[in-house]
Amino acid sequence: MKGAGNKKELRVLPIRKGTVIDHIPGGRALRVLRILGITDASRETVSVAMNVPSRQMGRKDIVKVENRELVPGEVQKIALIAPRATINIIDDMEVRRKMKVSLPREIEGVLRCSNPNCISNTPEPAVARFRVENGGLRCFYCERMFSGELTDHI
């Protein structure tokens, strides 16, 4: 485990309890905050580091949220915009659990189909559902493919 380097990074702005999302592509931290529903009305203590030099990624962003654990839907959305992100669960100032996000085969309900005629966009009770294919998402209902920047749809 290449923990030494990571531990050093975490020491920069240590948190007692909460979640650290690391290895976010540079510039995408604000989208991660949006996924987490963090706005100017939020009361959580949040630290954001943007464009931190990274040997692995060139530059990366880091988001730390105190007293918060992520729910699976949030982790799925983060995986879409930051496929190499790592999530560190901190308790008592120690990394208790470290996990890599992974793209699921299918995602449900986290974003909408871009086809206005799709059944998932009608009053019919169909929850938006997508299959994850190389580099994109295909709508389960109308087969429309989202390609390019997934982040634009989140």
| Interface ranges with Zn ion (CB under 5 A) | 113, 115, 118, 139, 141-142, 144
Question: C-beta of 98: minimal distance to Zn ion in Å?
Answer: 36
Nearer to Zn ion, 24 or 139 (CB): 139
| Closer Cβ to Zn ion, 38 or 150, answer by number | 150
Whichever of 115 and 151 has its CB closer to Zn ion, that residue is: 115
CA distance 139 to 144: 5
Exposure b/e, 56-84, CB count within 10 A at least 16 = b: eeeebbbbbbeebebeeebbbbbbbbbee
Start-to-end CA distance of the chain, whole Å, equals 33
Minimum distance from residue 19 beta carbon to Zn ion (Å): 32
CA–centroid distance for 114 within its chain: 21
Q: How near is the Cβ of 127 to Zn ion at its closest, in Å? A: 11
The C-alpha atoms of residue 50 and residue 105 are separated, in whole angstroms, by 30
Which spans in the chain are helix H? 3-12, 29-35, 72-81
Minimum CB distance to Zn ion, residue 143 (Å) = 7
Which CB, 24 or 118, lies closer to Zn ion? 118
